[in-house]
Amino acid sequence: MNKVFLCKETADGETRVALVPQHIKALCEMGYEVLVQSGAGDCISFSDDDYKTAGAKIADTLKDGYDFCDIIVRINKPDDIADIREGTLHVSSFDVWNEKAAIKEYADAGVNLVSLEMMPRTTLAQKMDIQSSQASLAGYYAVILAASKLPKIFPMMMTPSGTISPARVFIIGVGVAGLQAIATAKRLGARVEAFDTRPVVEEQVKSLGAKFVKIDLGEMGQTEQGYAKELTPEQVELQRKGQAKVCSHSDIVITTAKVFGRKAPLLLTKDMTAQMKPGSIIVDMAVKTGGNVEGCDPAGDVVLDNGVLLINGDSLERNIPKDASDMFSGNIFAFLEHFWNGESKTFKLDSTDEILAGCLITMDKKVIHPGFQNN
Ligand code: NAD
């Protein structure tokens, strides 16, 4: 397996490409043969010639690419898999939790599926982790976006005409996106508060110069992979009460609270958003998995009755396509490099490897990932 095909993205709103010329050059030097669908890099102004210079060949159609390759690389799940040959390895983000029927379709077609969101949260796999690379950019962009819509500035300003108080920003959920949002808001001069249910986060919040909001929810914690544990309905209610006052005095609230493989907790109810000041901004970054904020709309932004702007913060990394593509491409390169066997000049598909055991969903016409076998 050494023939890689890079597809042009077709999903609505997609702005990224899964491999950039720099990484294709390195793959070709290693021994991979790379075919690129014509126009794949248009979204970030990489021409077919740029890819050719890097060592790739260009395919005019998707079918030509599928016929050529052993490994398909793209950002999103494709529209259909009819032309993909049995035994091909398909590598992309896949939204596996919402695509259980598609998983069966891949198994039946004999397409071996790697879902990059399932990459284990280990030191070894860190460089292949698209969740981290993309969430980090999204967290940055959430703050920039909110700042651009806020009718006031971020830093404190003392001028002869008066003193402007700093903007107050509250970040709920301090994983990868939340940490980057805190750092960005602090750099812009805001007063930042943050909360997360994982106790280990308090120190990280403080080290960025933000204030950790203390809410006693009783027993909390995290999974072995570092993900939050799901709260009980009573704990969610306690959290809502504990953070209501902070929301009401904040100019911007950014919510990133997710529970891996489950619906996101509803943390800001209509009663709570009604207490916020007109002109305040909320960015809900968990909207894809149900949303943290009551009234959030997967179709777009909403202005609430009291003039608060509720922004759909899904896939914000798409607003920064150049860096998002570079980082996604870096993750894919690391994955293809890690499993490259230099002697036999082939990608080694070993389902017992600890990284592949985490993210390989189907293989040899079977659903092999234990998390999806009973669907
Ligand atoms: P995520 O996107 O699943 O969740 C975002 C944040 O929401 C998490 O911090 C989570 O604790 C928090 N959350 C969940 N329920 C909440 C609630 N009710 N209220 C407030 N916050 C809530 O998480 P993530 O950003 O992907 O990161 C999860 C962890 O994985 C972090 O500890 C991160 O440092 C770790 N991580 C490790 C690696 C690695 O070792 N390779 C890579 C990336 C991330």
Q: Which among 196, 212, 254 is the best mutation to test ligand 1's pocket, defined by most ligand atoms within 8 Å of the CB?
A: 196
Distances (CA, A) of 361 to 86, 116, 225, 236: 15, 10, 18, 32
Task: State both tokens at 45.
Answer: 């102004």
Catalytic positions are 121, 126, 129, 132, 227
List Cβ neighbours of 31 (8 Å cut-off, separation of 6 or more). 2, 340, 342, 345
Residue with the two structure tokens 């990608």: 347
Residues 282-303 pLDDT 10s = 999 999 999 999 999 999 999 9
Residues 177-213 pLDDT 10s = 999 999 999 999 999 999 999 988 999 999 999 999 9
The pLDDT value recorded for residue 224 is 75
Distance of CA 37 to the CA centre of its chain: 24
The pLDDT value recorded for residue 128 is 98
* Residue 105: pLDDT over 80: yes
* 131 Cα to the center of ligand 1, angstroms: 10
CB of 225 closer than 8 Å to CB of 198: no
* Residue 375: pLDDT over 90: no
CA dihedral 177→179→181→186, nearest 10 degrees, is: -170
Q: Using a pLDDT cut of 90, give the percent of the chain over it.
A: 90
Buried-exposed string 126-138: b where 16+ CB fall within 10 A, e elsewhere: ebbbbbbbbbbbb
* Residue 226: pLDDT over 90: no
Predicted model pTM: 0.94
> Going by CA atoms, what residue is nearest to atom 1 of ligand 1?
258
The pLDDT value recorded for residue 199 is 87
The pLDDT value recorded for residue 373 is 85
The pLDDT value recorded for residue 23 is 98
Return the ligand 1 atom nearest residue 228 CA.
11
> Going by CA atoms, what residue is nearest to atom 38 of ligand 1?
121
The pLDDT value recorded for residue 283 is 98
Name the band, by pLDDT with cuts 50, 70 and 90, for residue 261.
confident
Per the rule left: phi > 0, alpha: psi between -120 and 50, beta: everything else, 319 is alpha
Burial classification of residue 361, based on how many CB atoms lie within 10 Å of its CB (0-12 exposed, 13-18 middle, 19 or more buried): buried
Return the ligand 1 atom nearest residue 230 CA.
15
The pLDDT value recorded for residue 313 is 97
Distances (CA, A) of 363 to 15, 125, 373: 30, 20, 12
Residues 182-191 pLDDT 10s = 999 999 999 9
CB of 147 closer than 8 Å to CB of 155: no
